[in-house]
């Protein structure tokens, strides 16, 4: 049964913490995803996966953290962000309460790449206390589970398909189109939000998403080896989204069960 923390009275929470060692923490972002997808895409996917997997794992599921570090998307209105330092402190402080109540294993179900660094910092701090922490970012696992699930960028058909399966009314297919990454100079082509090609190589360059794309959605060359960069966001479909959500939740359940076998000393 789902152990949604926000639905419990404190006495029920006390009992739940006595019955499980595992907590799932869904976290995402409120950021632009092009002209065709909702600002809440990242936290919507994270929350869905946490609930779907947490029920089968019998884990505590915390309320979703909707706003993460996304300042580099702020050229597009509606994007909200906190600093990396604020996010690290916030997540670290509330995880300390999970530990206080008896949680020994925490999985961040993370829907947004910009949160990765802060969550890894929190995880390392908790590891030093003997707590096992994982940062599950679905797009890292998806291509290995099924090549048809390979993302090709930000606001792409993969994310769009999952949104169609979760809240179809928020996806504007009439606005969906394959983005074009900008050429920054005659010889510098933006590959994604942090890399440019030059000659036969590539170089990391500090960029904002508005430097790369006029529409907000963008291709991310090099994201994975199986991506199809001709696949348009307009190709998103609910069937694919449902397959992905079910498959990723199943993978997360299998991982969570194995993860509970981890044991660390402080």
Count of alpha carbons within 13 angstroms of residue 262, beta-carbon side: 18
- Type and span of the H or E element at 90: helix 84-100
Structural domain boundaries of the chain?
A: 3-155+238-259, 178-235
Question: For strand 22-27 and strand 105-110, is the pairing parallel, antiparallel, or unpaired?
Answer: parallel
**How does pLDDT run across 6-16, given as a tens digit for each residue?**
999 999 999 99
From the CA atom positions of the chain, what is the Rg in Å? Answer: 19
pLDDT band at 2 (very low <50, low <70, confident <90, very high): low
Which pLDDT tens digit goes with each residue over 184-213?
999 999 999 999 999 999 999 999 999 999
CATH T-level topology, domain 3-155+238-259? Rossmann fold (3.40.50)
Could you report the per-residue pLDDT of 209-233, keeping only the tens digit for each? 999 999 999 999 988 889 999 999 9
pLDDT band for position 1 (cuts 50, 70, 90) = low
Global confidence as pTM: 0.97
**Residue 193 contacts residue 216 (beta carbons within 8 Å):** no
For the cut 90, the answer to whether the pLDDT of residue 151 exceeds it is: yes
> What b/e string do you get for 9-42 counting C-beta neighbours within 10 Å, with b at 16 or more?
eeeebeebbeebebbbbbbbbbbbbbbbbbbbbb
């Amino acid at each position: 049964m789902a152990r949604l923390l926000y639905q419990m009275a404190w006495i029920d929470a006390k009992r739940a913490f006595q019955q499980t060692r595992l907590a799932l923490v869904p976290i995402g972002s409120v950021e632009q995803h092009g002209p065709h997808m909702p600002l809440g895409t990242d936290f919507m996917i994270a929350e869905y996966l946490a609930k779907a997997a947490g029920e089968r794992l019998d884990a505590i599921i915390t309320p979703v953290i909707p706003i993460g570090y996304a300042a580099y998307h702020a050229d597009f209105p509606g994007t909200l962000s906190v600093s990396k330092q604020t996010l690290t402190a916030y997540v670290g402080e509330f995880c300390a309460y999970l530990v206080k109540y008896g949680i020994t294993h925490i999985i961040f179900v993370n829907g947004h790449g910009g949160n990765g660094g802060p969550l890894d910092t929190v995880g390392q701090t908790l590891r030093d206390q003997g707590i096992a922490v994982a940062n599950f970012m679905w797009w890292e696992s998806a291509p290995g589970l099924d090549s048809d699930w390979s993302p090709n960028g930000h606001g792409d058909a993969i994310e769009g398909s999952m949104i169609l399966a979760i809240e179809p009314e928020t996806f504007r297919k009439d606005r969906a189109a394959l983005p074009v990454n900008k050429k920054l100079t005659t010889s510098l082509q933006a590959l994604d939000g942090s890399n440019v090609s030059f000659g036969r190589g590539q170089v990391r360059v500090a960029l904002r998403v508005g430097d790369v794309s006029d529409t907000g959605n963008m291709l991310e060359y090099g994201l994975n080896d199986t991506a199809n960069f001709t696949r348009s966001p307009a190709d998103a479909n609910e069937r694919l989204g449902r397959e992905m959500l079910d498959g990723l939740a199943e993978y997360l359940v299998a991982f969570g069960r194995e993860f509970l076998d981890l044991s660390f000393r402080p």
